[in-house]
Structure 1
Amino acid sequence: MAQIVIPYTPRPQFIPYHERKERFAKIVAHRRFGKTVGCINDKIKAALTNSRQYPPPRYAYVAPTYTQAKDIAWSYLKHYSAPIPGIKTSESELWVEYPNGARIRLYGADNYDRMRGLYHDGVTIDEPAQMDPRAWPEVIRPTLSDYSGWGTFIGTPAGRDWFYKIDLNEDGSPAENFFRLTLKASETGIIKPEELKSLMVGLTEEQYAQEFECSFEAAVVGAYYGRLMNAAEQDKRITGVPYEPTAQVYTAWDLGIRDATAIWFAQVVGREVHLIDYYEATGVDLGHYVRELGNRPYLYAGHIVPHDAQAKELGTGKSRLEVLESLGLKNVTIAPMHRVEDGINAVRTILPRSWFDARKCARGVDALKLYRSEFDDKLQALKPRPVHDWTSHAADAFRYLAMTLDSQIRTPAEMFEPDEDWVV
């Protein structure tokens, strides 16, 4: 085989990654370190040295969105592959194929279902904190099973999300067969000290700790409920929260059409709000959710749905509220019309007395931690509206809960004796 020289010189801190023996890797690196470049070149080498003839080797790079994959990694992949004779490229599908038939393709996690049914010899997931946590276990991880493929996670922290937990067992102990590398700006020497001082001036302490010092403890930039959810963790209010049979259950829904539908299950016990369960799904009809409620052993006090549930659909002439009621859902309450800002403030009022079941509400809890306003890099300021991503569904449902349930709670006696409209 002819020797091929790729125009890439690894940074010393990255050499241990290239020499790793573990199947999985987690790299937490500061901004502008060059982690994407390093991982793209690692993937090129893996593709060129894979000797399997059939089926041909397949490798994937996954960014939070398809546009980001194209903007961030496509030029790197083409540049470092250019010296290799006989390569083929597809600008429309973002793949490079090598003379041995191996192929590297770019994907966006905004459409991770596109990867269902595929096989991969290696996958790099860039900025997993910005992706739907279901993308890895439900879709991407199974693509590695056929040929014992490897997986690498690279990114900067965004609180104690699934990226933080990816290399941990359920009990919090380190998982086996994981290579780990943390690259802080204060330690790598990649960014000059004077430049780091300049960056500190333009960023908050939390932003700098997260983006350049790889801190998972820093509050997520722009997170609406980050501090309150951290307080819930510190107070051990994210724990086992059993169903209390003597208290009725309220559900709060965010009804998706093309997006997911999210449902919180809450009980009011004294001054506390107990979030005992959370459910989310997509691509199913409303009857599915009504059956899910029926499959649980809960005594329901009422169900809160968004104001737009009353809107008539052109296809059926019925509203989703009418459909839910025709399916047997009783005591449905419409959340009051409100500005998003007012709803966020209502959530902030209810969170300090909220308890979450750590297992059943895990996805909802992660969503509340990461629900955030987008940061405008050009203006160096937060945008006025929340980011619409996988966190929105749980956050919106919780907002409807706070706007409606809290208005029912005036005195301890009233908490145990809901208004007649809420009684099953």
Structure 2
Amino acid sequence: MTAGKSNSMVARIELPPKLIPVFAGEARYRGAYGGRGSGKTRTFAKMAAVRGYQLSQGGEEGLIVSAREYMNTIENSSLAELKAAIASEPWLAAHYDVGEKYIRTRDGRISFAFAGLRHNLDNIKSKARVRLVWVDEAEPVSETAWRKLIPTVREAGSGIWVTWNPESRGSATHKRFREKPPKGARIAALNWRDNPWFPPVLEQERRNDLENRPEHYAHIWEGDFVTAVEGAYYAKALAKAREDGRIGHVAADPLIHYRAFWDIGGTGAKADATAIWIAQFIGREIRVVDYYEAQGQPLAAHINWLRQNGYGSALAVLPHDGATHDRVHDVSFDSALREAGFEVQIVPNQGAGAARLRVEAVRRLFPAIWLDEKRCAAGIDALGWYHEKRDENRNIGLGPEHDWASHAADAFGLMAIAYEMPPVRQQQGRRYQGDGFKNTSWMAG
């Protein structure tokens, strides 16, 4: 990328390739999100300094505000990043006056101000001629803060830049700049592999985290939401699956039969959720193409979802309680699904230690599992969170924690158990094989 200079020469600015479109052309909103080591903060610091240079060279006056949600002292700001970015470009360094706690252009037209949005937002609103606001570490910024901040940046040609490491789908920053970004916004995802200057020291740290702290790896390095906790059963397997490219777009094979693996919930307001994974067993691969979860809904709602999404002929694989009659309607899921036209397979109760058996089966099979990142997003989050309940006083594990993530995990574990079940003769020409349930007549997959 190039920037004009007053002597008609052109300065060359090196950026990570993914950020070149972000800074090309006119845009009020520019941003980047992702994990550690991506170079996004240093790049935005450099481009903020370039913007200050351009403004001063054009005879403009005003402020560039570098903001964070929390900034109790100047040491908590982006001052150090801006200083380093300016120092890295001799032509920028020649144009700026950089002090211990200030940065301004040598002609005095453009100055940098530093502010914390949580406690100093009104102070920003009172500042005159704000030309640019760059909000770094923007994940925790509240919707209230965004609503107050954005109208204060109102000079012609002014801009709002945002950089953040994602943590929650519910954050105001995620909803405002990823789910429903402003029209014309230029925002990119950026992670360590997108940084051409990713340093060897960080590469070693990345590998250490992948090996020793897998429950946090995807969030720290891949820019994922925080979905795992200490003791997460599948954190390492999920991190390896991402590393191998097995979490992404997964195409279904139209010639292979679908399987729907259930964890059965109830119909009350406080009942457990019903979870369903849709998968195909293709050779030695398990391709997981969709995920569904609903709480308090009747069986008809689950069946409608299956039919509306093209899984109306899927084999319904139920846990052992699928044959148990519902206390309210005196009908089992097994019989109700058969009545609705589905083939049904009941996986026998594994007895004591069934949860552990499911966990171990999933871990064994994970190298052969492919997950559709978009359609299975909620289920993947649940798998990342599913963890051991611990007695902290005695420092012992008590088995899987039964919480919001356990329904998805139980259905996923059922899939692994069904895949690994040994050959057992069944009625009506159906049989189990080592690669999963087979139909001796027309069902090919």
Aligned mates of 2:437, 2:360 — CA distance in 1? 26
Distance 1:263 1:414, change over 3 A: same
Distance 1:317 1:170, change over 3 A: closer
Structure 2: tracts of 5 or more residues without a match: 1-69, 78-114, 125-132, 152-164, 188-210, 425-432
Letter paired with 1:328 = G
SS at match of 1:169: helix
- The share of aligned pairs that are identical, in percent, is 27
Matched, 1:341 2:356: yes
Matched, 1:327 2:347: no
Note the C-alpha offset of 1:404.
1.0
Aligned mates of 1:241, 1:368 — CA distance in 2? 18
SS at match of 1:274: strand
Q: Which residue of 1 aligns with 2:283?
A: 270
Note the C-alpha offset of 1:272.
0.6
* Backbone CA RMSD of aligned residues: 4.6
Show the 5 A alignment for 1:191-210. 206=213
Distance 1:331 1:324, change over 3 A: closer
Note the C-alpha offset of 1:267.
0.5
Aligned mates of 1:236, 1:205 — CA distance in 2? 20
Q: Which residue of 1 aligns with 2:254?
A: 245
Q: Is the 8 A contact 1:262 1:394 kept in 2?
A: yes
Matched, 1:317 2:326: no
Match of 1:393 among 407, 412, 429: 407
Q: Is the 8 A contact 1:266 1:273 kept in 2?
A: yes
Match of 1:290 among 303, 309, 315: 303
Show the 5 A alignment for 1:18-417. 18=118, 19-20=120-121, 122=144, 162=169, 166=174, 169=178, 206=213, 215=220, 220-257=229-266, 258-298=271-311, 300=313, 302-338=315-351, 339-379=354-394, 381=395, 383-407=397-421
Note the C-alpha offset of 1:359.
0.9
Aligned mates of 2:138, 2:265 — CA distance in 1? 35
Matched residue pairs, number? 263
> How far does the alpha carbon of each residue in 1:91-127 deviate from its partner, in whole angstroms, 9 at most, with x for none?
xxxxxxxxxxxxxxxxxxxxxxxxxxxxxx849xxxx
State which drifts further: 218-227 or 390-399. 218-227
> How far does the alpha carbon of each residue in 1:42-88 deviate from its partner, in whole angstroms, 9 at most, with x for none?
x9xxxxxxxxxxxxxxxxxxxxxxxxxxxxxxxxxxxxxxxxxxxxx
Distance 1:418 1:312, change over 3 A: closer
Letter paired with 2:244 = D
Q: Is the 8 A contact 2:334 2:344 kept in 1?
A: no
SS at match of 2:250: coil
> How far does the alpha carbon of each residue in 1:370-411 deviate from its partner, in whole angstroms, 9 at most, with x for none?
1111355545x353222222211111110111111232699x
Aligned mates of 1:23, 1:17 — CA distance in 2? 12
Note the C-alpha offset of 1:26.
6.3
Q: Which residue of 2 aligns with 1:418?
A: 438
Q: Is the 8 A contact 1:252 1:400 kept in 2?
A: yes
From the CA coordinates, give the structure whose radius of gyration is larger: 2
Note the C-alpha offset of 1:351.
1.2
Structure 1: tracts of 5 or more residues without a match: 1-8, 30-38, 44-120, 124-143, 149-156, 179-203
> How far does the alpha carbon of each residue in 1:321-370 deviate from its partner, in whole angstroms, 9 at most, with x for none?
22232333223333543421111101111211100111111111111111
Q: Is the 8 A contact 1:267 1:273 kept in 2?
A: yes
Letter paired with 1:311 = T
Letter paired with 1:283 = G
Q: Is the 8 A contact 1:225 1:371 kept in 2?
A: yes
Q: Which residue of 2 aligns with 1:190?
A: none
Aligned mates of 1:228, 1:402 — CA distance in 2? 14
Aligned mates of 2:349, 2:440 — CA distance in 1? 18
SS at match of 1:262: strand
Aligned mates of 1:302, 1:236 — CA distance in 2? 28
Aligned mates of 2:264, 2:134 — CA distance in 1? 40
TM-score by length of 2: 0.49
> How far does the alpha carbon of each residue in 1:126-184 deviate from its partner, in whole angstroms, 9 at most, with x for none?
xxxxxxxxxxxxxxxxxx9xxx9xxxxxxxx9x97647994773799xx9799xxxxxx
Note the C-alpha offset of 1:261.
0.8
Aligned mates of 2:230, 2:441 — CA distance in 1? 41
Letter paired with 2:372 = D
Aligned mates of 1:422, 1:386 — CA distance in 2? 39
Aligned mates of 1:422, 1:297 — CA distance in 2? 19
Distance 1:311 1:375, change over 3 A: same
